[in-house]
Structure 1
Amino acid sequence: MLRSCAMLIPAFLALAATGVAQEARPPVSQCQAIAERLPQVKFASFVPVAYEAPEVSISFIGHSTFLIESPGGVRIATDYSGFLLPGGPADVATMNKAHESHFTLTPDPGIGMVLHGWGDTPGQPIDHDLVVGDVYIRNVTTDIRAWGAFEEDGNSIFIFEVADLCIGHLGHLHHELADSHIAEIGRLDVVMVPVDGGLTLGAESMRNVIERLHSSLVLPMHRTGPRVRDFAAMFEGDYDVVYSDSRTVTLSLASLPRPPQILLLQGVW
Protein backbone atom coordinates (compact mmCIF):
# COMPACT_ATOMS: atom_id res chain seq x y z
CA MET A 1 0.00 0.00 0.00
CA LEU A 2 1.10 3.55 -0.60
CA ARG A 3 0.70 6.56 1.59
CA SER A 4 -0.27 9.82 0.02
CA CYS A 5 1.67 12.92 0.95
CA ALA A 6 -0.06 16.28 1.34
CA MET A 7 0.33 18.30 -1.85
CA LEU A 8 -0.09 21.67 -0.22
CA ILE A 9 1.44 23.13 2.92
CA PRO A 10 -1.12 22.30 5.63
CA ALA A 11 -3.43 25.12 6.54
CA PHE A 12 -2.33 25.11 10.14
CA LEU A 13 1.20 26.00 9.07
CA ALA A 14 0.04 29.01 7.08
CA LEU A 15 -2.14 30.27 9.92
CA ALA A 16 0.19 29.63 12.86
CA ALA A 17 1.43 32.84 14.46
CA THR A 18 5.09 33.60 15.00
CA GLY A 19 6.27 32.15 18.30
CA VAL A 20 4.16 29.76 20.30
CA ALA A 21 0.63 29.14 19.05
CA GLN A 22 -0.96 26.34 21.03
CA GLU A 23 -4.38 25.59 19.52
CA ALA A 24 -7.45 24.42 21.43
CA ARG A 25 -7.95 21.81 18.70
CA PRO A 26 -4.59 20.52 17.44
CA PRO A 27 -4.19 20.13 13.69
CA VAL A 28 -4.66 16.79 12.00
CA SER A 29 -1.34 15.02 11.56
CA GLN A 30 -0.40 14.69 7.90
CA CYS A 31 2.11 12.01 8.95
CA GLN A 32 -0.76 9.84 10.15
CA ALA A 33 -2.94 10.58 7.12
CA ILE A 34 -3.57 6.95 6.12
CA ALA A 35 -1.13 5.17 8.42
CA GLU A 36 -3.39 5.14 11.47
CA ARG A 37 -4.36 1.57 12.32
CA LEU A 38 -2.60 0.27 9.22
CA PRO A 39 0.55 -1.33 10.68
CA GLN A 40 1.53 -3.02 7.39
CA VAL A 41 1.32 0.16 5.30
CA LYS A 42 4.27 0.92 3.04
CA PHE A 43 4.97 4.60 2.54
CA ALA A 44 5.98 6.54 -0.57
CA SER A 45 6.25 10.27 -1.28
CA PHE A 46 4.58 12.18 -4.10
CA VAL A 47 5.58 15.72 -4.99
CA PRO A 48 3.81 17.92 -7.57
CA VAL A 49 6.09 19.04 -10.41
CA ALA A 50 5.46 22.76 -9.87
CA TYR A 51 5.79 22.62 -6.09
CA GLU A 52 8.64 24.69 -4.67
CA ALA A 53 9.27 22.81 -1.46
CA PRO A 54 10.50 24.83 1.54
CA GLU A 55 13.70 23.64 3.18
CA VAL A 56 14.50 22.50 6.70
CA SER A 57 18.01 22.26 8.12
CA ILE A 58 19.11 19.65 10.67
CA SER A 59 22.44 19.98 12.47
CA PHE A 60 24.19 17.43 14.67
CA ILE A 61 25.17 19.18 17.91
CA GLY A 62 26.58 16.30 19.95
CA HIS A 63 25.78 12.85 21.39
CA SER A 64 22.07 12.65 20.48
CA THR A 65 21.15 16.33 20.20
CA PHE A 66 20.14 17.83 16.87
CA LEU A 67 19.08 21.38 16.01
CA ILE A 68 16.14 21.60 13.60
CA GLU A 69 15.56 24.97 11.90
CA SER A 70 12.26 25.49 10.08
CA PRO A 71 11.59 27.66 7.01
CA GLY A 72 9.81 30.10 9.35
CA GLY A 73 12.84 30.41 11.61
CA VAL A 74 11.71 28.17 14.48
CA ARG A 75 14.70 26.53 16.18
CA ILE A 76 14.19 23.21 17.96
CA ALA A 77 16.85 21.33 19.95
CA THR A 78 15.71 17.73 20.21
CA ASP A 79 17.06 15.37 22.87
CA TYR A 80 18.61 18.46 24.41
CA SER A 81 21.03 17.89 27.28
CA GLY A 82 22.50 21.35 27.79
CA PHE A 83 24.72 21.84 24.75
CA LEU A 84 25.44 25.40 23.65
CA LEU A 85 23.70 25.90 20.34
CA PRO A 86 25.01 27.85 17.35
CA GLY A 87 22.96 31.00 16.93
CA GLY A 88 21.83 31.13 20.55
CA PRO A 89 19.03 29.45 22.54
CA ALA A 90 16.37 27.41 20.80
CA ASP A 91 12.68 28.29 20.70
CA VAL A 92 11.87 24.75 21.84
CA ALA A 93 13.95 22.07 23.54
CA THR A 94 12.70 18.50 23.82
CA MET A 95 14.17 16.00 26.27
CA ASN A 96 13.22 12.48 25.26
CA LYS A 97 14.27 10.62 28.40
CA ALA A 98 15.34 11.66 31.93
CA HIS A 99 18.71 9.97 31.45
CA GLU A 100 22.02 11.54 32.49
CA SER A 101 23.20 12.36 28.99
CA HIS A 102 19.77 13.09 27.49
CA PHE A 103 18.36 15.91 29.61
CA THR A 104 19.40 18.72 31.92
CA LEU A 105 17.92 20.19 35.08
CA THR A 106 19.38 23.57 34.16
CA PRO A 107 18.40 24.36 30.56
CA ASP A 108 19.45 27.66 29.03
CA PRO A 109 16.97 30.23 30.46
CA GLY A 110 16.72 31.76 26.98
CA ILE A 111 14.95 28.65 25.62
CA GLY A 112 11.33 29.52 24.90
CA MET A 113 9.78 26.17 25.85
CA VAL A 114 11.09 22.91 27.33
CA LEU A 115 9.11 19.71 26.62
CA HIS A 116 9.82 16.61 28.71
CA GLY A 117 9.31 13.19 27.18
CA TRP A 118 8.18 11.60 30.45
CA GLY A 119 5.21 12.25 32.69
CA ASP A 120 5.62 14.18 35.93
CA THR A 121 2.90 12.04 37.53
CA PRO A 122 3.81 8.34 38.07
CA GLY A 123 1.84 6.09 35.74
CA GLN A 124 0.65 9.04 33.64
CA PRO A 125 2.31 9.35 30.22
CA ILE A 126 3.11 12.79 28.86
CA ASP A 127 1.14 13.96 25.83
CA HIS A 128 2.40 16.84 23.69
CA ASP A 129 0.30 18.20 20.84
CA LEU A 130 1.08 21.80 19.90
CA VAL A 131 2.04 24.22 17.17
CA VAL A 132 5.06 26.48 17.44
CA GLY A 133 5.28 28.86 14.50
CA ASP A 134 5.32 26.70 11.38
CA VAL A 135 6.04 23.43 13.23
CA TYR A 136 3.54 20.94 14.63
CA ILE A 137 5.10 18.98 17.53
CA ARG A 138 3.75 15.77 19.05
CA ASN A 139 5.12 12.72 20.85
CA VAL A 140 4.64 8.96 21.08
CA THR A 141 5.76 7.32 24.32
CA THR A 142 7.72 4.07 24.65
CA ASP A 143 8.92 2.06 27.65
CA ILE A 144 12.36 2.12 29.26
CA ARG A 145 14.36 -0.72 30.83
CA ALA A 146 15.04 0.08 34.48
CA TRP A 147 16.61 -2.22 37.07
CA GLY A 148 15.56 -5.40 35.30
CA ALA A 149 12.00 -4.23 34.64
CA PHE A 150 10.35 -1.74 32.31
CA GLU A 151 9.35 1.81 33.19
CA GLU A 152 6.19 2.42 31.19
CA ASP A 153 6.14 5.51 28.97
CA GLY A 154 9.54 6.69 30.20
CA ASN A 155 10.78 7.75 26.76
CA SER A 156 9.21 9.83 24.00
CA ILE A 157 9.66 9.71 20.27
CA PHE A 158 9.22 13.36 19.32
CA ILE A 159 7.77 14.06 15.89
CA PHE A 160 8.08 17.40 14.10
CA GLU A 161 5.80 18.09 11.15
CA VAL A 162 7.20 20.98 9.16
CA ALA A 163 7.31 22.00 5.48
CA ASP A 164 5.37 18.83 4.57
CA LEU A 165 8.13 16.72 6.15
CA CYS A 166 7.73 14.32 9.05
CA ILE A 167 10.88 14.31 11.18
CA GLY A 168 11.25 12.02 14.19
CA HIS A 169 13.80 11.46 16.96
CA LEU A 170 13.58 8.00 18.57
CA GLY A 171 15.20 9.17 21.81
CA HIS A 172 16.56 6.44 24.08
CA LEU A 173 14.58 3.64 22.45
CA HIS A 174 14.85 0.36 24.39
CA HIS A 175 12.49 -1.95 22.50
CA GLU A 176 11.18 -2.59 19.03
CA LEU A 177 8.06 -0.67 18.06
CA ALA A 178 4.68 -2.39 18.25
CA ASP A 179 2.02 -2.01 15.57
CA SER A 180 0.31 0.54 17.81
CA HIS A 181 3.46 2.68 17.91
CA ILE A 182 3.80 2.57 14.12
CA ALA A 183 0.16 3.61 13.73
CA GLU A 184 0.61 6.52 16.16
CA ILE A 185 3.80 7.70 14.52
CA GLY A 186 2.58 7.45 10.95
CA ARG A 187 5.29 8.14 8.42
CA LEU A 188 8.75 9.50 9.19
CA ASP A 189 10.58 10.96 6.20
CA VAL A 190 13.61 11.62 8.41
CA VAL A 191 14.45 9.58 11.51
CA MET A 192 17.22 10.08 14.08
CA VAL A 193 18.21 6.72 15.54
CA PRO A 194 20.35 5.85 18.59
CA VAL A 195 23.25 3.51 17.90
CA ASP A 196 24.45 1.83 21.08
CA GLY A 197 23.80 -1.85 21.57
CA GLY A 198 23.94 -1.35 25.34
CA LEU A 199 20.82 0.07 26.93
CA THR A 200 19.30 1.12 23.62
CA LEU A 201 18.29 -1.36 20.94
CA GLY A 202 20.89 -3.62 19.37
CA ALA A 203 21.84 -2.98 15.76
CA GLU A 204 19.65 -5.74 14.25
CA SER A 205 16.58 -4.66 16.21
CA MET A 206 17.19 -1.03 15.27
CA ARG A 207 17.39 -2.07 11.63
CA ASN A 208 13.97 -3.71 12.01
CA VAL A 209 12.56 -0.45 13.39
CA ILE A 210 14.05 1.60 10.55
CA GLU A 211 12.67 -0.75 7.91
CA ARG A 212 9.18 -0.57 9.42
CA LEU A 213 9.26 3.24 9.35
CA HIS A 214 10.27 3.29 5.65
CA SER A 215 12.18 6.55 6.15
CA SER A 216 14.00 8.24 3.28
CA LEU A 217 16.80 9.65 5.45
CA VAL A 218 18.29 7.97 8.53
CA LEU A 219 20.55 9.99 10.86
CA PRO A 220 22.48 7.77 13.30
CA MET A 221 23.66 9.30 16.58
CA HIS A 222 24.37 8.53 20.25
CA ARG A 223 27.57 6.56 19.65
CA THR A 224 30.40 7.59 17.34
CA GLY A 225 33.40 6.03 15.62
CA PRO A 226 33.69 2.32 14.73
CA ARG A 227 30.36 1.33 16.28
CA VAL A 228 28.35 3.75 14.17
CA ARG A 229 30.35 2.89 11.05
CA ASP A 230 29.64 -0.82 11.61
CA PHE A 231 25.96 0.05 12.01
CA ALA A 232 25.92 1.95 8.71
CA ALA A 233 27.67 -0.94 6.94
CA MET A 234 24.71 -3.21 7.78
CA PHE A 235 22.58 -1.23 5.34
CA GLU A 236 24.95 -1.19 2.36
CA GLY A 237 23.21 -2.54 -0.73
CA ASP A 238 19.75 -1.56 0.48
CA TYR A 239 20.53 2.06 1.44
CA ASP A 240 23.06 4.56 0.18
CA VAL A 241 25.56 5.15 2.98
CA VAL A 242 26.97 8.68 2.97
CA TYR A 243 29.71 10.13 5.18
CA SER A 244 29.28 13.91 5.30
CA ASP A 245 31.96 16.54 5.88
CA SER A 246 29.28 18.82 7.33
CA ARG A 247 27.37 18.76 10.59
CA THR A 248 24.27 20.07 8.78
CA VAL A 249 21.93 18.67 6.16
CA THR A 250 19.41 20.89 4.39
CA LEU A 251 16.49 19.14 2.76
CA SER A 252 12.92 19.46 1.51
CA LEU A 253 10.15 17.14 0.50
CA ALA A 254 11.41 17.40 -3.09
CA SER A 255 15.03 16.61 -2.20
CA LEU A 256 14.54 13.56 -0.02
CA PRO A 257 17.04 10.91 -1.15
CA ARG A 258 15.88 8.10 -3.39
CA PRO A 259 16.93 5.35 -2.76
CA PRO A 260 16.88 5.84 1.03
CA GLN A 261 20.06 7.01 2.68
CA ILE A 262 22.00 6.46 5.89
CA LEU A 263 23.68 9.82 6.46
CA LEU A 264 26.49 10.12 8.99
CA LEU A 265 27.00 13.80 9.73
CA GLN A 266 30.36 15.18 10.77
CA GLY A 267 30.94 14.51 14.44
CA VAL A 268 29.14 11.16 14.32
CA TRP A 269 31.55 9.08 12.28
Structure 2
Amino acid sequence: MEISWLGHSCFQLRGKNVVLIADPVTPQQADAEVASQLSKVNASIVTVSHDHPGHNYVQGVGGNPRVVRGPGEYEISDVLITGVASYHDDERGKKLGRNTIYIIHMDDLVICHLGDLGHVLQEQQLEEVADADILLLPIGGGNSIDATQAAEIISQVEPRVVIPMHYHPEKTEGIPAQLNKFCREMGVEAIEPQPKFTVTKNSLPATMQVVLLTPR
Protein backbone atom coordinates (compact mmCIF):
# COMPACT_ATOMS: atom_id res chain seq x y z
CA MET A 1 0.00 0.00 0.00
CA GLU A 2 1.06 3.54 -0.77
CA ILE A 3 -0.11 6.30 1.59
CA SER A 4 0.01 9.95 0.50
CA TRP A 5 -1.06 13.06 2.41
CA LEU A 6 -3.05 15.56 0.35
CA GLY A 7 -3.10 18.16 3.13
CA HIS A 8 -5.30 18.91 6.18
CA SER A 9 -6.89 15.50 7.04
CA CYS A 10 -6.98 14.18 3.48
CA PHE A 11 -5.12 10.98 2.60
CA GLN A 12 -4.91 8.76 -0.43
CA LEU A 13 -4.60 5.04 0.28
CA ARG A 14 -3.52 3.30 -2.91
CA GLY A 15 -3.90 -0.45 -2.57
CA LYS A 16 -3.35 -3.27 -5.02
CA ASN A 17 -6.80 -2.93 -6.55
CA VAL A 18 -8.50 0.01 -4.82
CA VAL A 19 -7.83 3.71 -4.23
CA LEU A 20 -9.46 5.29 -1.18
CA ILE A 21 -9.57 9.00 -0.35
CA ALA A 22 -10.22 9.95 3.27
CA ASP A 23 -11.69 13.38 4.14
CA PRO A 24 -11.33 15.08 0.73
CA VAL A 25 -10.26 18.68 1.26
CA THR A 26 -11.67 21.76 -0.47
CA PRO A 27 -9.42 24.23 -2.29
CA GLN A 28 -10.19 26.82 0.40
CA GLN A 29 -8.76 24.57 3.11
CA ALA A 30 -5.60 23.57 1.27
CA ASP A 31 -2.79 25.17 -0.66
CA ALA A 32 -3.57 25.63 -4.34
CA GLU A 33 -1.19 22.89 -5.40
CA VAL A 34 -2.78 20.39 -3.00
CA ALA A 35 -6.27 21.14 -4.28
CA SER A 36 -5.14 20.77 -7.87
CA GLN A 37 -3.71 17.35 -7.05
CA LEU A 38 -7.00 16.27 -5.49
CA SER A 39 -8.91 17.24 -8.62
CA LYS A 40 -6.75 14.83 -10.61
CA VAL A 41 -7.37 11.86 -8.30
CA ASN A 42 -9.71 9.02 -9.21
CA ALA A 43 -10.85 6.81 -6.36
CA SER A 44 -13.11 3.82 -5.74
CA ILE A 45 -14.04 4.87 -2.20
CA VAL A 46 -14.29 8.16 -0.30
CA THR A 47 -14.77 8.41 3.47
CA VAL A 48 -16.12 11.57 5.14
CA SER A 49 -15.60 11.96 8.87
CA HIS A 50 -17.99 14.91 9.24
CA ASP A 51 -19.86 17.35 7.05
CA HIS A 52 -17.43 20.27 7.00
CA PRO A 53 -15.92 21.92 3.90
CA GLY A 54 -12.40 20.87 4.87
CA HIS A 55 -13.42 17.21 4.97
CA ASN A 56 -16.33 16.58 2.59
CA TYR A 57 -15.22 17.76 -0.86
CA VAL A 58 -16.51 14.61 -2.54
CA GLN A 59 -17.11 16.41 -5.84
CA GLY A 60 -13.36 17.01 -6.07
CA VAL A 61 -12.67 13.27 -6.48
CA GLY A 62 -13.06 11.62 -9.88
CA GLY A 63 -13.92 8.04 -10.73
CA ASN A 64 -17.52 8.00 -9.44
CA PRO A 65 -16.48 6.64 -6.01
CA ARG A 66 -18.71 5.06 -3.38
CA VAL A 67 -19.04 7.54 -0.53
CA VAL A 68 -19.07 6.42 3.10
CA ARG A 69 -20.54 8.82 5.65
CA GLY A 70 -21.12 7.94 9.27
CA PRO A 71 -21.05 4.93 11.61
CA GLY A 72 -21.70 1.41 10.36
CA GLU A 73 -20.04 -1.46 8.53
CA TYR A 74 -19.34 -1.25 4.83
CA GLU A 75 -17.79 -3.71 2.38
CA ILE A 76 -16.76 -2.20 -0.94
CA SER A 77 -14.44 -3.87 -3.48
CA ASP A 78 -13.02 -6.26 -0.84
CA VAL A 79 -12.31 -3.34 1.51
CA LEU A 80 -14.00 -3.62 4.91
CA ILE A 81 -14.69 -0.27 6.56
CA THR A 82 -16.09 0.27 10.05
CA GLY A 83 -17.33 3.74 10.98
CA VAL A 84 -17.25 4.40 14.73
CA ALA A 85 -19.29 7.19 16.32
CA SER A 86 -17.30 9.85 18.16
CA TYR A 87 -17.37 13.60 18.76
CA HIS A 88 -15.74 16.70 17.31
CA ASP A 89 -15.27 18.14 20.81
CA ASP A 90 -14.83 16.99 24.41
CA GLU A 91 -18.44 17.80 25.39
CA ARG A 92 -20.12 14.90 23.56
CA GLY A 93 -20.71 17.00 20.47
CA LYS A 94 -22.48 19.89 22.20
CA LYS A 95 -20.10 22.46 20.66
CA LEU A 96 -19.03 21.04 17.30
CA GLY A 97 -21.18 17.98 16.66
CA ARG A 98 -20.31 14.43 15.73
CA ASN A 99 -17.29 12.84 14.08
CA THR A 100 -16.78 9.39 12.57
CA ILE A 101 -13.61 7.35 13.07
CA TYR A 102 -12.93 4.93 10.23
CA ILE A 103 -11.16 1.58 10.55
CA ILE A 104 -10.17 0.42 7.08
CA HIS A 105 -9.15 -3.19 6.35
CA MET A 106 -7.27 -3.12 3.06
CA ASP A 107 -4.46 -5.27 1.62
CA ASP A 108 -4.08 -7.19 4.93
CA LEU A 109 -3.47 -3.91 6.79
CA VAL A 110 -5.68 -2.09 9.28
CA ILE A 111 -5.63 1.68 8.91
CA CYS A 112 -7.45 3.97 11.33
CA HIS A 113 -8.34 7.54 10.34
CA LEU A 114 -9.54 9.53 13.35
CA GLY A 115 -11.07 12.41 11.37
CA ASP A 116 -11.56 15.56 13.47
CA LEU A 117 -11.69 13.73 16.77
CA GLY A 118 -12.03 16.12 19.70
CA HIS A 119 -11.38 13.82 22.68
CA VAL A 120 -9.33 10.85 23.81
CA LEU A 121 -10.83 7.46 23.02
CA GLN A 122 -13.53 5.99 25.23
CA GLU A 123 -13.60 2.27 26.00
CA GLN A 124 -16.04 1.28 23.25
CA GLN A 125 -14.17 3.29 20.63
CA LEU A 126 -10.86 1.86 21.76
CA GLU A 127 -12.17 -1.69 21.33
CA GLU A 128 -12.90 -0.90 17.67
CA VAL A 129 -9.59 0.84 17.04
CA ALA A 130 -7.30 -1.45 19.03
CA ASP A 131 -6.18 -3.58 16.07
CA ALA A 132 -4.96 -0.64 13.97
CA ASP A 133 -1.57 -1.12 12.34
CA ILE A 134 -1.44 2.46 11.04
CA LEU A 135 -2.98 5.43 12.85
CA LEU A 136 -3.73 8.71 11.07
CA LEU A 137 -4.48 11.33 13.70
CA PRO A 138 -4.77 15.11 14.13
CA ILE A 139 -2.19 16.89 16.27
CA GLY A 140 -2.87 20.59 15.68
CA GLY A 141 -5.42 21.40 18.39
CA GLY A 142 -8.05 24.04 17.72
CA ASN A 143 -11.19 22.13 16.74
CA SER A 144 -9.61 18.69 17.21
CA ILE A 145 -7.16 16.97 19.54
CA ASP A 146 -3.80 18.57 20.24
CA ALA A 147 -0.34 17.03 20.46
CA THR A 148 -0.73 15.98 24.11
CA GLN A 149 -4.06 14.25 23.50
CA ALA A 150 -2.65 12.66 20.33
CA ALA A 151 0.21 11.15 22.32
CA GLU A 152 -2.30 9.78 24.86
CA ILE A 153 -4.37 8.16 22.11
CA ILE A 154 -1.24 6.60 20.60
CA SER A 155 -0.46 5.04 23.98
CA GLN A 156 -4.06 3.74 24.11
CA VAL A 157 -3.96 2.16 20.65
CA GLU A 158 -0.29 1.15 20.36
CA PRO A 159 -0.19 1.14 16.54
CA ARG A 160 2.91 0.16 14.55
CA VAL A 161 2.93 3.34 12.45
CA VAL A 162 1.69 6.84 13.35
CA ILE A 163 1.15 9.52 10.69
CA PRO A 164 0.15 12.96 12.03
CA MET A 165 -2.29 15.22 10.17
CA HIS A 166 -4.35 18.39 10.62
CA TYR A 167 -1.40 20.68 11.17
CA HIS A 168 0.06 23.22 8.81
CA PRO A 169 3.62 22.75 7.57
CA GLU A 170 4.93 26.26 7.02
CA LYS A 171 6.78 26.88 3.78
CA THR A 172 9.75 28.18 5.73
CA GLU A 173 12.72 26.42 7.22
CA GLY A 174 12.28 24.79 10.59
CA ILE A 175 9.66 22.58 12.22
CA PRO A 176 6.08 23.84 12.65
CA ALA A 177 5.28 24.52 16.32
CA GLN A 178 2.45 21.95 16.41
CA LEU A 179 4.67 19.26 14.94
CA ASN A 180 7.57 20.18 17.21
CA LYS A 181 5.32 19.80 20.26
CA PHE A 182 4.06 16.43 19.01
CA CYS A 183 7.62 15.14 18.51
CA ARG A 184 8.50 16.25 22.05
CA GLU A 185 5.42 14.50 23.43
CA MET A 186 6.41 11.33 21.58
CA GLY A 187 10.06 11.59 22.62
CA VAL A 188 11.34 11.41 19.05
CA GLU A 189 13.97 13.48 17.31
CA ALA A 190 13.20 15.57 14.25
CA ILE A 191 12.09 13.28 11.42
CA GLU A 192 12.62 13.99 7.74
CA PRO A 193 9.27 14.16 5.93
CA GLN A 194 8.80 11.96 2.88
CA PRO A 195 6.47 12.34 -0.11
CA LYS A 196 4.73 9.00 0.44
CA PHE A 197 4.86 5.94 2.68
CA THR A 198 4.86 2.48 1.17
CA VAL A 199 4.06 -0.43 3.47
CA THR A 200 2.91 -4.05 3.48
CA LYS A 201 1.87 -6.29 6.36
CA ASN A 202 5.32 -7.89 6.29
CA SER A 203 7.18 -4.58 6.26
CA LEU A 204 5.46 -3.04 9.30
CA PRO A 205 8.08 -1.93 11.83
CA ALA A 206 8.57 -4.10 14.91
CA THR A 207 8.28 -1.07 17.20
CA MET A 208 6.10 2.01 16.84
CA GLN A 209 7.36 4.44 14.21
CA VAL A 210 6.30 8.04 13.55
CA VAL A 211 6.18 8.83 9.81
CA LEU A 212 5.94 12.41 8.54
CA LEU A 213 4.57 13.08 5.09
CA THR A 214 4.81 16.20 2.98
CA PRO A 215 1.45 17.29 1.55
CA ARG A 216 1.22 16.99 -2.21
Q: 1:100 aligns with which of 53, 60, 83?
A: 53
Q: Is the 8 A contact 1:76 1:93 kept in 2?
A: yes
Which has the larger helix fraction?
2
CA distance in 2 between counterparts of 1:185 and 1:146 reads 19
Partner of 2:10: 65
1:257 aligns with 2:210: no
1:4-19 equivalences under 5 Å are none
The answer to which of 162-171 and 130-139 deviates more is: 130-139
Q: How high is the sequence identity, in percent, across the aligned residues? A: 26
Q: Is the 8 A contact 1:217 1:261 kept in 2?
A: yes
Structure 2 residues without counterparts, runs of 5 or longer: 27-34, 170-175
SS in structure 2 of the partner of residue 230 of structure 1:
helix
Partner of 2:195: 247
CA distance in 2 between counterparts of 1:109 and 1:207 reads 35
TM-score, normalised relative to structure 2: 0.82
CA distance in 2 between counterparts of 1:217 and 1:181 reads 19
1:180-259 equivalences under 5 Å are 180-225=124-169, 226=176, 227-236=178-187, 242-244=191-193, 246-259=194-207
Code of the aligned partner of 1:206: A
Change (3 A) 1:87 1:74: farther
SS in structure 2 of the partner of residue 200 of structure 1:
coil
Q: 1:74 aligns with which of 15, 18, 27?
A: 18
Structure number, greater radius of gyration? 1
Per-residue deviation, 1:138: 1.4
Q: 2:74 aligns with which of 102, 112, 130?
A: 130
SS in structure 2 of the partner of residue 183 of structure 1:
helix
SS in structure 1 of the partner of residue 148 of structure 2:
helix
TM-score, normalised relative to structure 1: 0.67
Change (3 A) 1:183 1:148: closer
SS in structure 2 of the partner of residue 212 of structure 1:
helix
Q: Is the 8 A contact 1:195 1:220 kept in 2?
A: yes
Q: Is the 8 A contact 1:81 1:95 kept in 2?
A: no
CA distance in 1 between counterparts of 2:92 and 2:124 reads 24
Q: How many residues align?
A: 200
Change (3 A) 1:147 1:259: closer
CA distance in 2 between counterparts of 1:109 and 1:70 reads 17
Partner of 1:36: none
CA distance in 2 between counterparts of 1:217 and 1:207 reads 13
Code of the aligned partner of 1:259: T
- Quote the RMSD (CA, aligned, Å): 2.6
